Amino acid sequence: MDDNGDIAEMLQPVTITDKPPQVEGPFGFDNVEGNSFTPRVIVSDSTLDEPHLLYSWFVADVEQARNLDSKIPTIITNNGEFLLTLNVTD
């Protein structure tokens, strides 16, 4: 505002988009039969989304698996090769 009472104003449109979470590997894990292992990956997202990320691990044909809905599950395997799948939702 100046001394004549005039006001200047500018409007600027802003677009905000949400990017999906990023999972950073690698996913190479070695284990001895019957021992447990905990796969560890780095997941990044926006500061507001990170506390609310939902993790879902899937491992086919394993003896036991615990905490498959957490960032760090515990998996016990037998002999063989296994495919680990991680889905992260924000």
7-41: per-residue pLDDT in tens? 889 999 999 888 899 988 766 666 777 788 888 78
Indicate if the pLDDT at residue 49 is higher than 70. Answer: yes
Confirm if 88 and 43 have CB atoms less than 8 A apart: yes
Give 10-47 as a DSSP string: --------PPPPEEE--------TT-EE----EEE--T
**Closest C-alpha among 42, 30, 39 to residue 74:** 39
β-partners of residue 85 are 58
| Torsion, Cα of 79, 66, 20, 42 (10° steps) | -70
Which residue in 64, 71, 67, 63 sits closest to 89, CA to CA? 71
Under 8 Å between Cβ of 89 and 56 = yes
What is the tens place of the pLDDT at every residue in 52-85? 999 998 887 777 788 889 888 888 877 777 788 8
pTM (two decimals): 0.70
